[in-house]
A and B are shown apart, each in its own frame.
Chain A
Amino acid sequence: DAMVIQNPRYQVTQFGKPVTLSCSQTLNHNVMYWYQQKSSQAPKLLFHYYDKDFNNEADTPDNFQSRRPNTSFCFLDIRSPGLGDAAMYLCATSSSGRAHEQYFGPGTRLTVT
């Protein structure tokens, strides 16, 4: 089945220790998104790729970076995680033909100790 896959599902990192979260998709969608969601809050868009074009949200901290080496894969790098970065990180994809319909991966739960 076509899907969005995120690894790992659970990640524990230490304060200040860089961490990378990964997302892959078999939907062949050209748009990929990263969201941060904290408990009882709306998902917050960090950035998205339209094909290879990177689009950063104005309020996304510099501590968050992303890479998209090919259509199928996208990575979220947190350079120096703080306690406030503990959250669920959601990857989503959409097709430019139906760009408003986004499909989410299962998420990665990040804990910072």
Chain B
Amino acid sequence: QKEVEQNSGPLSVPEGAIASLNCTYSDRGSQSFFWYRQYSGKSPELIMFIYSNGDKEDGRFTAQLNKASQYVSLLIRDSQPSDSATYLCAVSGDYKLSFGAGTTVTVRA
């Protein structure tokens, strides 16, 4: 079983600030990396995926991957109250995902 570690938080940021979330993984053979957003009582929603080293930007979200360091991160720019949720990091090397326990983000208005 792949291990995926995240800081549980909560991470509290003021509205308009950058939220930075980190994730490390144990399996060097992992090939695909995902960030899911999960609102309280709801199911996970895929917001970003990244396969190659470097940065990938999508709107206010930027995913960063460093396979040598086995590290993946998510930046949320111009944080909004609607970004308040738990963010799950997930890692895959086959058809299965291994999830971290998630980082809870609270954006203060």
Interface on A for B, CB 8 Å cutoff?
31, 33, 40-43, 45, 48, 50, 88, 90, 94, 96, 99-107, 109
On whether the beta carbons of B45 and A45 are closer than 8 Å, the reply is: no
B6 smallest CB distance to A (angstroms):
9
Interface on B for A, CB 8 Å cutoff?
4, 8, 31-32, 34, 41-46, 49, 88, 92, 94-97, 99-102
Measured CB to CB, the nearest residue on chain B to A45 is B96
Partner of B95, one of A90, A94, A105, A106: A94
Residues of B within 8 A of A42 (CB): 4, 88, 99-102
B34 smallest CB distance to A (angstroms):
7
On whether the beta carbons of A100 and B34 are closer than 8 Å, the reply is: yes
A29 smallest CB distance to B (angstroms):
11
A105-B43 contact given A31-B95, A100-B34, CB 8 Å threshold: yes
